[in-house]
Amino acid sequence: MSEPRDAYTIHDLRNWAAATADLDLPARLAVIGDPVAHSLSPQLHNPALEATGAGCQYVRLHLQAEEIAEALGLLEGAGFLGVNVTIPHKETVFSSISDVTDVARRIGAVNTVVVENGELIGHNTDAPGLQRAIREQFSVDLTDMRVLILGAGGGAGKAAAVQCAMDHCDRLVLANRTEEKAQALRGELVDLMTDPDRLEGPSSRLTAIPWEPKALEREMDQIDLVIQCTSLGMKRTDPEVLPQSLIQPHHLVYDMVYSPPRTRLMAAAEAEGARAANGLSMLLWQGVLAFEFWFNREAPVEAMRQGLEAATGAS
């Protein structure tokens, strides 16, 4: 019996029983991505599978975009309970599945697939995972928060914005390097931010701004929570996301980046007396929610947290 390989391919999936015959437990869950070898999802889910005695394991599947449709069609026959989806396939999987949840439809991206009675159901647990992470890190709910999303043009930024709007946040300010994408997202969220019980219309509660210091400065007094949704901060040479002088002690700063564990933005926030957290908690909670969709039972959160902490060296 042996350990699973770093990543399996479409060729393996076509003959899954033979490709995984040497494993001590059947591989019935996977993360699909390109690249995927860096994904921490096995370290998050395998401790949960072990803790619950699920009798199966979680592996990585390295797939190209043109292999996605075939791969989805092979899952049930290969005995899969479901898969997670990571960059760059979340939108492709969304377009390939007809049965998706409202949240996934709003975001246009699927990060969790459940195989159920021969059907595939597409979920997005990034958005509610962020909601849980904010609650855990800052003891606040998105409801009633005034939120600035940095990177509102990418998939993660869209998931964050949709969740904030669905949770009826008080104010939502969208900023993105390519401003047109933030404007487009604003248009998609107007209905969610229109509250017939409020006197003011959606325009005062929902706005898209250019990502530049002057425009950001005008907003920061009326912001409680900043959510950083770009990949900036992963490399030491990355530019500053937000000028430090704009951060105020009352701000809560959530950086979706978790490697390094203390990002430059977090350090800047803490230097200004603000509270800050990295994106590891979002990774944890999107996984917890995925596990609960696959098994229809409560996930062993602490086992998953310990798995992630061991994998990242966090504690």
List contacts with ligand NAP (CB under 6 A).
87, 126, 151, 153-157, 176-178, 181, 229-232, 256-258, 279, 282-283, 286
Residue of 90, 158, 214, 235 with catalytic role: 90
Q: Which is nearer to ligand NAP, 154 or 307 (CB)?
A: 154
Q: Which is nearer to ligand NAP, 20 or 155 (CB)?
A: 155
DSSP-derived pairing of the beta strands 82-85 and 112-116: antiparallel
Rounded Cα distance between 305 and 301, Å, is 6
Is 90 noted as a catalytic residue in this protein? yes
Measured at CB, which residue is nearest to ligand NAP?
154
Q: Least distance (Å) from ligand NAP to the CB of residue 295?
A: 20
Neighbour-count burial for 139-163, b at 16+ CB within 10 Å, e otherwise: eeebeebbbbbbbbbbbbbbbbbbb
Q: Which is nearer to ligand NAP, 13 or 109 (CB)?
A: 109
Q: Least distance (Å) from ligand NAP to the CB of residue 257?
A: 5
Q: Which is nearer to ligand NAP, 13 or 289 (CB)?
A: 289
Q: Least distance (Å) from ligand NAP to the CB of residue 314?
A: 13
Q: Least distance (Å) from ligand NAP to the CB of residue 204?
A: 24
Q: Which is nearer to ligand NAP, 120 or 288 (CB)?
A: 288
Rounded to 5°, the CA angle 51-284-80 comes to 60
Q: Least distance (Å) from ligand NAP to the CB of residue 27?
A: 23
208: left (phi over 0), alpha (psi -120 to 50) or beta: beta
Neighbour-count burial for 66-91, b at 16+ CB within 10 Å, e otherwise: ebbeebbebbeebebbbbbbbbebbb
* Amino acid letter, residue 70: E
Q: Least distance (Å) from ligand NAP to the CB of residue 196?
A: 32
Environment class of 272 (CB within 10 Å of its CB; exposed 0-12, middle 13-18, buried 19+): middle
Q: Which is nearer to ligand NAP, 61 or 242 (CB)?
A: 242
- Best CA proximity match to 30, nearest among 51, 53, 49, 2: 49
Residue 119's H or E segment, with its range, is strand 119-123
Rounded Cα distance between 287 and 126, Å, is 9
From residue 118, alpha-carbon distances to 166, 203, 297 in Å are: 30, 44, 20
Catalytic residues: 90
